Amino acid sequence: MKKSTIALALGTLGLGMSEFGMMGILPDIARDMSISIPKAGHFISAYALGVAIGAPLLVLISGKLPLKRILLILILIFILGNLFFSLISYYELNVLFRFISGLPHGAYFGVGSIVASKLAPKGKGTSAVSGMISGMTIANLLGVPLGTFISHHFSWKITYFLIALLGIIIFISIKKFVPELKPLPYTRFKDQFHFLKNLNPWLIVVTTIVGNGGIFCWYSYINPIMTHSVGFSEESMTGVMMFAGLGMVVGNLLSGKLSDKYSPQKVATVTQGLAMLSLLFFFFFSKSQILSLLLMFLCTGCLFAVSAPQQILLLHNSRGGEMLGSAMAQVAFNIGNALGAYLGGIPISKNYPYEYSALPGVVLTFIGFLVFIYYTLFRAKLSN
């Protein structure tokens, strides 16, 4: 892997720890701040809304800047948001700083995807984007379990303070290893939205929102699900989260290779179908620890097996507004994240067992599966 790709992957490693780290430590934050777990889930939604607002805003106002400089500015925002979140103990302010932490997320993926694809050999664009995204899967394999361990034994504040320090390392790596690239060709402000007149990008956005949102109905509450419903101890959750992260690593690696060999849309369609079945079976077999672990592995694998194809499909369907288009993948992903955290919390707030959060996820992933079938069969050729 190129040094530039490693530097970009370090960025997604930090973003992944900031975003997904919350799933493993929700009970700790809820206890520390004397709030309910569903209310603590608002920290997940605040981050996701920051992504949704920050991605198009930051992309549009920075369009004339060199791509490397944009990445460095985004990492500075990341550092500040996570640093203040780790130092504050006031609920409303913590929500605000989680929102700020999410602002650079989508824009980083948008700009990073363009940089990765520009530096990749011909025909290896999806693999290059997958390499960049691999940092986020490693975050879930190692970083999030480590953060969960630190939170359980010390404090969740230390976890997010270390994430802020990681941001400094990311900044230095990008500055040193990512080559200078010229800004994208100038496009008038209104012309950057021209690609949205086509149905194709909207179909991909919809599948990303409902497909990933369906998984997040369940994954947002993975800690209480695996402890209360499945029966794992709090002490074993570090290992459980590592196994979930391993599923993400495997899913991401397979997705990049298969997408270059076949097509991103075919891989994404099959993945959405597998995610739907995984959630459905998890609901029925949540009392079996072995089956629950295997289904968790498959479901988290699907979460990242679909990410690189979605990212590259939006990039291909946004000519003239590539930076905005590729950022929209993360906007959609995090709108789905917020939607999933909200919908998955509804049955929990109604005192249903935690595994019931998977049921709204089944419905959403099924909708995403149907839309992807339509795109693959009738629309994909129009994007070429």
Cβ atoms 54, 43 nearer than 8 A: no
Structure confidence at residue 186 as a pLDDT band (50, 70, 90): low
Tell me what pLDDT residue 330 has.
77
Q: What is the CATH number of the domain that holds 120?
A: 1.20.1250.20
Cβ atoms 224, 37 nearer than 8 A: yes
Q: Identify which has the larger pLDDT, 14 or 62.
A: 14
Q: How many domains is the chain partitioned into structurally?
A: 1
Residue 260, in any domain of the structure: yes
Cα–Cα distance measured from residue 162 to residue 79, given in angstroms and rounded to the nearest whole number: 10
Which tokens go with 373? 């079938």
Residue 331, in any domain of the structure: yes
Q: Is the pLDDT of residue 6 over 60?
A: yes
What mean pLDDT comes out for the span 291-302?
94
Residues 6+ apart with CB under 8 A from 181: 66, 67, 68, 115, 118
Tell me what pLDDT residue 381 has.
65
Q: Is the pLDDT of residue 97 over 90?
A: yes
Residue 215, in any domain of the structure: yes
Residue 203, in any domain of the structure: yes
pLDDT in tens, 207-265: 999 998 999 999 988 888 999 999 998 888 878 888 988 998 899 888 877 887 778 88
Tell me what pLDDT residue 187 has.
64
Q: Please count the other Cβ atoms lying within 10 Å of the Cβ belonging to residue 288.
A: 14
Which tokens go with 47? 């981050």
Residue 115, in any domain of the structure: yes
Residue 184, in any domain of the structure: no
The amino acid that residue 121 corresponds to is P
Chain mean position to CA 298: 16
pLDDT in tens, 189-214: 677 778 888 889 999 999 999 998 99
Q: What is the mean pLDDT of the chain?
A: 87
Cβ atoms 318, 332 nearer than 8 A: no
Query: What range does the domain containing 359 cover?
Result: 3-179+189-383
Q: Is the pLDDT of residue 58 over 80?
A: no
Q: Is the pLDDT of residue 373 over 80?
A: yes
Among 81-85, 184-188, 307-311, 328-332, the minimum mean pLDDT is found in: 184-188
Cα–Cα distance measured from residue 153 to residue 367, given in angstroms and rounded to the nearest whole number: 41
Residue 26, in any domain of the structure: yes
Q: Is the pLDDT of residue 185 over 70?
A: no
Angle, vertex CA 383, rays to CA 381 and CA 384, nearest 5 = 70
Residue 317: phi and psi, rounded to 5, are -100, 20
Tell me what pLDDT residue 311 has.
80
Cβ atoms 362, 347 nearer than 8 A: no
User: Which regions of 117-230 does DSSP assign to beta strands (E)?
Assistant: none
Residue 240, in any domain of the structure: yes
Cα–Cα distance measured from residue 283 to residue 225, given in angstroms and rounded to the nearest whole number: 10
Tell me what pLDDT residue 184 has.
66
Tell me what pLDDT residue 85 has.
95
